[in-house]
Structures are given as C-alpha cells and as structure tokens.
Structure 1
Amino acid sequence: MGRLLATYLSKFIKNGSLTVHYPDGKSESYGDGTGSHVAMELTDKAAERALVLDPALKAGELFMDGRLRITDGSIYDFLALISSNTQGLPITWSWHVLNKLRILTRRIHQHNTLRRSKSNVARHYDLDGTLYRLFLDSDRQYSCGYFEHPDDNLENAQLAKKRHIAAKMCIEDGMDVLDIGCGWGGMGLYLADLCGANVTGLTLSEEQHGIANGRAVDSGLTDRARFRLQDYRDCRGQFDRIVSVGMFEHVGVGNYPTFFDAAHRLLKPDGVMLLHSIGRFDGPGATNPWVDKYIFPGGYIPSLSEVLPKIEKAGLKVTDIEILRLHYAETLKAWRDRFLARRDEAKALYDERFCLMWEFYLAASETAFRYQDMMVFQIQITRDQEAVPLTRDYILEAEQRLRERERKVPHLRLAGE
C-alpha cells in the first residue's frame, strides 16, 4: 500500500515540493521543487492504507490523531500544495465509489428534522463561547467578510459585509425584519441600530440566543431587536424584509422547498429577502465526510443550479445575484492567523486533539475557497419584481448613507466586552 501511495503521489504532485517520510524509514520527494518545501511523516502502515483508500475523511483524522505529522511547513502549506495540484487529479476506484455513495446518500445525512437540526447546531455553535472570541472579529461575525480594499482587516471586512447586505435590502425606518439564523446577533443589531428596523432574530443555538439578547439589552435596543430560540419552520407572521446569512448551509438539500415556501409565506407581497450562503461552482456534490463528521453535521454547500429552481417553484423571484469569489479565503486566513496566535488558550479550553481538528478545519476551508470550486453567493429575492430599484446604483448610494451613520454610532460589541 505504501508503494501505491508513492506511485499516486508521483503522478499527482506536479507543482511544488513535497517530501514524505514513510513508516519503513524511507523518504521520497515529489513535485518540481518550486515554492516552499513541505514535508510530512506517516507513523504507521495503517495510516498509509487509510490515506490511500479514503483521503477525504482520513487525512483530517490522521492529522488529529498525530499519525500524519507535518515536519516542514504547516498543515495549511500541505493542504495548499495538495489543493493547487487538483487539476488532472487521478481518481482511484475507492475514491470514485465512496464519492458516488456519498452523493447517493446525502439526503439521508441531511435529513434535518426540527430535533436533528437543533442537535446539529449544538454540536458546533454551543461550544464554549470563549473559543469564538479567540479568532472572530469583535462583533463575532461567523460568515464571509466583504473585503472592499486589499488592505482591509477583519473588522473592516465584517462591518462592510453587514453594510453591503443592508444596502441590498432597501430597509426603511420602522420596517419589520426577520433574521433567519441570527448567530450572536450582530447583523440584527446593525439593522436595528443603523437602519431603524424592528428585528426578529431566529437561532437554534442556546449559546447564541442568550448572547444575542444580552447584547440587545446592553445596547439599549430591546425595543427593536428580539432574538428567539426558534426554527424558521415554526415562525409565523409576515415581514417587510428577510435576511439569512450563513444559515442556508445547514438546511439540507431535501429541505430547500420547505425553506423557500416558508420564505414566501413570511415575506410580505412587496418584501425583499437577501440570502447569503456558501456555494460551489462545480455543480451538485456531497459534503466532505470529515467536515460532516467533525465540524458541521447535516450541512451541505449547494450549487446555484440546486437553489434557483426551488426559489422559482416557491413563487419567488430572483432580482439580483452576486458572487463573492475570494472573500471567504481572506476571511478564513484572518481567522486561522488569529486562532494560531491564541492556540494555547484554545488548548486550555479543550485539548491538543481539538486544536489540531480546528487547525485542519480552518486550513482546509481556506484552501477550498482559494484553490478549489467554492465561493459565496448573495441572492436578492422578492415576490414582486418592482419591490427593488431597476438599476444597482441604489446599493452604492445606500452604502454611503450607512457609512455616514456608522461614524456617529459607536461600534456594537459583544455583551460584557
């Protein structure tokens, strides 16, 4: 099996420089020697076999268990080297079978009932709240930032993201806004404070629910920002605007009709919805098995070809689509740098294996957006095509108005910080 791995790597790694130290004491190098050198060590024969048979799952597991060690460079350098060599990637029979099986069974893994959705959310978002303060911005935005300028830092990019989304929603003072998947409340509080909206936020995370409402109290916005521990399927009423940022990835492909039927029911006839989600360029697929097992159980990153037909069938209209290509790669780089700078604090919260898991998650996610077929889309949705202006000039104009308001309002920060 070790020889099979060596043969595969010799065909796969054409660019860059990779050295593998095998369990039998032998070392071999691959690539054309360009760029930074990366070296890895496999500690046992079983690790070799696992990596050959199912690298999508086993690479992360072996790294977490210390059986795949990076001896020169970092796990990001290793994954970037692998990702940048994916063109012309030879597929083994085991990879082909496993990928087909994962696609065929994806609806089972993404069968997100009310109870299962809450359980899946708790697995990730109800971790110790201190963890997220280690690497997110001060507003704890856990989604793709919007880098307007090359030198923007994470704080500026996340503020620009909120501003950009708000501008697309054409919000007027006093409008009722529903925030589906409100996180720690940052988007909703921005809309309440800067746009004068009456915001109802929904989350399934008890940790996020408590913090979001605490922030509303501390900011003096309880009359305009309320956060509920509720599933979107149980929400009632109608709203002038609906926003959903970074939540759609948890819906599951089988629930898309339910999600957009709910959006149609909850949106007023002249209302506007803005959906911000991770997406894929290369068409329908399956969730990476390591991510599904350890990071986002029940999650799925959709292609536009899977989303748009469900919007149409729900009787809704797509009035604008914007693709954010490398913005998430830059966001994840900032998160990874910040996490590594405070890694010892994360280890004190959990343990070394958890830190290795989180390192792999952030590095693999960044390389996916930088080198592979991942992006972020923002879809503006209405029931009436006259609900928004005919040209996109209004977005820039609204952003400028919001910038002026931001200068007069202290930046919203988390409760207790």
Structure 2
Amino acid sequence: MIESLLVANRGEIARRIIRTANRLGIRAIAVHSEADAGLPFVTEADEAVCVGPANPAQSYRNVEAILAAAKATGAQAIHPGYGFLSENADFARTVERSGLIWVGPGADAITAMGDKINARNLMAAAGVPVAPGTTEPAADPDAAVAAAAGIGYPVMVKAAAGGGGMGMGVAADEAALRTEYDRVRAFAERMFGDGSVLIERYFPRVRHVEVQILGLADGRVVALGERECSVQRRNQKLVEESPSPAVSPELRARFLAAAVRAGEAVGYRNAGTVECLLDPATQEFFFLEMNTRLQVEHPVTELVYGVDLVEEQLRVAAGLAPTFDPDALAPRGHAIELRINAEDPKRFLPGPGAITTWREPGGEGVRVDSGYVAGNNVTPFYDSLLAKLIVNGRDRAEAVERARAAVAAFEVAGPKCNLPFFAELLENEEFLSGDYDTGIVGRMR
C-alpha cells in the first residue's frame, strides 16, 4: 500500500481523503492556499504546505508548487480529489514522470473523455447509446444550423471541452441557436481555452442517471450501481440518491453493462463515472459524458455498497486487489445526499461569510462530510460547497425521513445557506413520488 499521500485539493474532499488515509495508516499531506490555512483539512493532515495565495491559479492549480510540495515532504503519491487538476491529463502525466503515483485514471483515458465529441464517437463505436448529435465540432453558426436541421429542434449547444454543467445552452429555433452558439463558443474559449462546440438533441423532460465504475488493477472494469442526479440548478447537481427510483432491474442491467463497455473502451483504471440522460417516457438512455475522477456524490454509492471508494482508488493505484469480491457486488438499502452550499435557497446565488454557528446532525444512518467548522471563513474564491449531508435507510422512505430530521437539526449561521431549500424539497410531492426530472427545481420556483 501507498505509505504517504499528498492531497492536491481543499475543503470537504481533501478532509474526506485524509480521513481514509489516516484510517489506513498512510501519512497524509495537505496543500493549501493562504486563504484556507485555518480550515480543518489543514490541521487534520500529518503535514501541510502552503502553495500560494487564494487565487486557485496560483495555488490549487499551480502544478509547479504542488510538485515542489510533494518533493519537499517525501510524498509517494498524489490524489487530486475532484475539480482543480483532477481531470488535467498533462498534470497526471507530469506526476508520473516525476516518479510519483497518480491516484486516478491514466492520462490517455482523461484525454479521450475530456473532449465531448471524441468521447461521443468512442462510446458509439463501443456500442454505448449516444444521443443524436454532431460527430465533429460545428465550425460556425451556419454549420450548427445545418446540424440542427438533421437533429431536430430543440437542441443543446455544448462546449466540447466543458464539464460540471458549464458551457451549455438550449435553442428552440434557428435564431436562438445562432445566439447560443456565439455565447457558448465565447464562454468555452474563455473558460477552457477551446471554443469547439457540439450540437445534440435536447430532451425537454429527462432524468440524469449515472453509473459508478471502478477499473481494477487486473484490468477488469466493474460497475457499482447507479445514482439519480436529477435535482439540479443551472445544470449542476444539488441532490443525488442511489438506487434511482426511475430504474427497473431490467433497465439497471442495461445501464451497468453500457457503463462497463464505456470503461473498457478506454482501458479505464481507478474510479470514474459514466453519466447518462434517461428519457422516462421511452426508457431510452444516452451517454452524456464520463467523469474521469472521484465524484462529489460518491458517498451514496459507498453507503449502498458498503465500500470506501477512496480506499479502492488507493488500492488500484498501488496495484492491489479490491477489498470486495467484484463478482458478488450487491446493493443494500437506499442513500440520499444533499449538497449544503453557501448560497441563498431561492435564487442559489453564492453568499460567503464567516461561520458563527455550525452544528452537524448525527444519529443512525446520518453522515456529514464537511469542509468547515464554526469560526472558519467561507471565501468567494472557491466553490460554495460547505458540506455533504448523506443519509441511508432500509428503503427510500426511511432515507427521506432521516434526511428531514437531519436537515432540521443542521445549524449554520453566518454565510447564506440552502438548507431551507432541502426542507422544502423533502416535502415536495413530486420528489417524494420518485417520478421527477431535471426540471423539478424550476417547477418549485
């Protein structure tokens, strides 16, 4: 097993990785910005190194500073968490060329899945269903209009290099398509350094369902069930649950088989997620993208399958067998995750500030993965995620009841917080029925 691990991330996910490292007796090394010096992940690590000022480009995305910290502390491996450098193929290659162990998929797999058009084409060749769309970038608005004529309106306009719900727009007609094309292209050039745009069919009523995969050290790819991620704002997730209330056993078998094929098509190793869109009317599903990293929502899979995915990541990176029998994976119960963000519960706009009160709920079936404690300052420099509230129960009804009690008991004061939204959602008849889609938050507003 790896003996020393540098965590190239911050907040909740850094703290969560450090917790597993501590349990396994692995020396945990944190890197942090000047703004994050007082956060729990820094003090809970065995060693911590400041790698720059608050600006992520000068700290958490500063490859030179992170590698220097790894060398100075004698780190054996680097875990990138999610976000920042986690899906940067050049960083993965640089880590390995430096003689360190990269805790993630190979750089070639990251590259292959990083471009949405290339990923679509690879998946189609592997027999994974893909939505009708372009097989190469739309060079200009006229090309986009020509593509939409064959696909049919409405269409989704997407940045080929985008991710995390960023760089997307919907067009219901030619005029809107021309406007969205220019907007998405400009955004993609600014954010990703790549203005390539693809056009896909847009499904007005759709569910977002994803499959957790794990590429093992022996070359096999296994699937650890699906997660329902349809409660979203601005195409970004707020709630995840497993198993999905929309997925029958027959559909689940098709989902998992397609996800395994997707992983095998790129020789996938380590943890990853195959994201799909599900048409609830026809029960058809289509490949959306593959996230070549650990997902924010991985805890719901951990609770349903009884595994520690960070430990499994470390074992794969070290060339070790998993702790579980890949041929005997079986889910148990139901889990729900709520993303507690520093944002107002109505418009979901960020609201940073100093935390004056922080009381986490507890009890049977309740887990909190948090990045902050009372006295910490939530700055505007990073994502608004404060904590993840995860509950599990024998079935969905019990999980929902535990979520209600946990939300009521969770106290946060200082920054804005979206806890009131979750209290509302957990009483919403559409959500409670399990028959909801990605438009549910809009209908609540």
Q: TM-score, normalised by structure 2?
A: 0.27
* TM-score normalised to structure 1 length: 0.28
Higher RCO (C-alpha under 8 Å, 6+ residues apart): 1
Q: Where is the helix percentage greater, Structure 1 or Structure 2?
A: 1
